[in-house]
Chains A and B, each alone.
Chain A
């Protein structure tokens, strides 16, 4: 029974990682950059929703929408100001700039909201499910998180598969020059990608802090790194890969904390990543690209 409990918890935290990983993987696949500031946008999303609920007294739904709105604008702004001017430069340059943005967001948050942790009230209001005579506890957060991530993943898959914008995104990720020659606005497509990724980050922030209720300027940083490794695990650039990687990572993390060693869960999680990359460098669902000689 314990195993199922751990499995469910693992899937739950894994779903949060999956939602964050989706943002990373989309941006990497389409804009060809690792947005290190992604984890901090999550943090901003959590703070915004916190403020709207606690300081403005507005209902939860409004706070979530507000967080998504603010993060979307923030993401697009960052892309336009800090990343777009560096398009075409070596990926290291953009990476360092992203790190600068990450620092900026963390310290701005510290200035605005101070570094003392805030107590985040979960957005989930219903009571946990108790099954099997109380042995299995499924909190409301777990249910909401899993459902949310499934909805998002299905939505994204439909979006990239069926809509014009989504198909444009896929085209840009496969061959940017050809897409441009076909009349696709690369600028708009990349902007849209960041917008969607950031909106997802806001949702992830809300879900994350509902599960782990303390909120600090550094809250987004570690989950961001984990989610990034999850994206790589699943195959960076692949949407189902991000989902798979996130869930797997969550399960591995939970199980290693429960059965192997709580202190070494970091080492184990990253160790698994290294093993997978050695065996299948493109990730579980990624594609190997042959170079033309």
Chain B
């Protein structure tokens, strides 16, 4: 029972931290105390946090390596854009329209995740990584060549390179390689915050449930887990779909923060960036993902002053952090050093005590 309480405390503190941060930033923002650059960070940071936490569910907790997370982000983004665009007259309320777009994006991403999952989730570790990488590239390719528009005759879409010709008064929503333009910026920090809360709720509950136990068991010893009746493939699928759903919602939120967006944004580099957030924050560590996503998203921007050297510095820091947190030799050195330091402190205490 003691162990359960510690988990509950940790989970609760994550909610509290996130809520506190939101309240502080929201107040500062409405009071005009934040400069425009910082304000511009808020929504994307929310999106990246959700992306990191959802990927952590897959990578950190289930132990599956997915290199195509940005693909689900992209699906959510473009779906959200299309849905909000089509509903512009039917649903005048911006926030409501945004939420509908996000849900649509999430659902479609989840469905695609399910469809991919069926054949792919019976593959082992490294192969899943490669297939998700391939999937991400395919998504980017497809969306980058999709033309979608609406006119008086309804919705039209094509992947032909000549594009679409719409009737008078028609509007192009997605224009192939030029992406989506003329997006109404509906995303707000408040909605982003709610999305984070939802993500935390879903992911943390999943971990602390019989499903979470089963996932841990599968990671610990797959053959034993199967022998006690756990359907490993079904579990990987559930995690995969939930992860994709959340990523889709984040993608929709992200896209509708900008006036225009292209498919090239949702590429392998983005997938890798999110993966780096997860690994540096700690695999399976949800709070860690939140912190690392925020810091690592803002860091390159904050280091702009260093100009050309900032990316190299980022790379070096990344390598050093990985070496220090994972290398067994480093861990040995660190523990030897900390032991010595502790020994010095104890010696001082003893001396101080004996002097009295």
Contact = CB atoms under 8 A, between A and B. Distances in A.
Co-assembled chains A and B: yes
Nearest to A101: B319
Contacts of A108: 312
B137 A85 contact: no
Contact of A270 (B134, B322, B328): B134
Interface in B299-339: 308-309, 311-312, 314-316, 318-319, 322-323, 326-330
Contacts of B126: 34, 91, 236
Contacts of A101: 315, 319
B308 A97 contact: no
Interface in B137-191: 137-138, 140-142, 144-145, 159, 161
A89 B123 contact: no
Contacts of B142: 264, 267
Interface string A142-153: 000000000000
Interface string B274-300: 011001100100000000000000000
B131 A100 contact: no
Interface stretch (A42-50, A163-171, A193-201, A271-279): A271-279
Interface in A12-65: 34
B315 A103 contact: yes
Contact of A89 (B131, B319, B327): B327
Contacts of B283: 92
B312 A104 contact: yes
A229 B120 contact: no
A181 interface: no
B22 interface: no
B91 interface: no
A231 to B, nearest CB: 10
Interface string A96-139: 11011101100110110000000000000000000000000000
A236 B125 CA distance: 13
Contacts of A261: 161
B318 A263 contact: no
Nearest to B326: A93
Contacts of B15: none
A225 B279 contact: no
A183 interface: no
Interface in A239-283: 261, 263-264, 266-267, 270-271, 273-274, 277-278, 281
B276 A225 contact: no
Given A92-B59, A93-B279, A266 B138 contact: yes
A82 interface: yes
Given A101-B319, A232-B130, A274-B120, A264 B159 contact: yes
B16 interface: no
Contacts of A175: none
A86 B323 contact: yes
Contact of B137 (A89, A99, A232, A270): A270
A281 B123 contact: yes
Nearest to B311: A107
A190 to B, nearest CB: 16
B272 interface: yes
Contact of B141 (A95, A103, A266, A293): A266
B268 interface: yes
B75 interface: no
Contacts of A236: 126
A185 B162 CA distance: 60
Contact of A92 (B65, B130, B311): B65
B130 A273 contact: yes
Interface in A177-221: none
A274 B123 CA distance: 11
Given A85-B327, A281-B127, A111 B308 contact: yes
Nearest to A82: B319
B131 A277 contact: yes
B315 A291 contact: no
Given A96-B275, A97-B323, A104-B315, A85 B130 contact: no
Nearest to B269: A221
A228 B130 CA distance: 9
A236 B131 CA distance: 14
B169 to A, nearest CB: 28
A114 to B, nearest CB: 9
Interface of A: 34, 82, 85-86, 88-89, 91-93, 95-97, 99-101, 103-104, 107-108, 110-111, 225, 228-229, 232, 236, 261, 263-264, 266-267, 270-271, 273-274, 277-278, 281, 291, 293
Given A225-B137, A271-B134, 7 more contacts: A86-B323, A91-B125, A111-B312, A263-B141, A264-B145, A273-B134, A274-B131
Q: Which 6 A-B pairs have the closest CB atoms?
A: A270-B134, A104-B315, A100-B318, A103-B315, A85-B327, A267-B141
14 contacts: A85-B328, A88-B328, A92-B59, A92-B279, A96-B276, A99-B318, A266-B138, A267-B137, A270-B137, A271-B138, A274-B134, A277-B120, A278-B120, A281-B123
